[in-house]
Amino acid sequence: MNFRIMTASGPMSPYLTCQEVADRLRCSKATIYRRIAAGSLDTIGDGVLLRVTLESLLRYEAEITNRRRAS
C-alpha cells in the first residue's frame, strides 16, 4: 500500500528524493546532501537509494522558519 499525504500543493509521498526536497526548498541537491550529512534531515535507504522522510523535511522547514522569525 502506498500512502500519500495531502498538502496544499497536492499529494506527497512520505519518502522524497533529494531532488524533490531540493525543489521544495529551492536549493541545490548538494545543499540537501550537506544537510543530510549534518544530521538536519533524516533519511532511509542505502547510499544509492537515499530518501528523505517527509516528517524530517517538515520538521526542518519549521526549524528554519522559526530561526528566521527569531532574527
Write the pLDDT tens digit of every residue in 19-39: 999 999 999 999 999 999 999
Render the burial of 38-64: b for 16+ CB within 10 Å, e for the rest: eeebebeeeeeeebbebebbeebeeee
State the pLDDT at residue 4.
59
Q: What is the pTM of this model?
A: 0.76
Q: How confident is the model at residue 51 (pLDDT cuts 50, 70, 90)?
A: very high
pLDDT for 1: 43
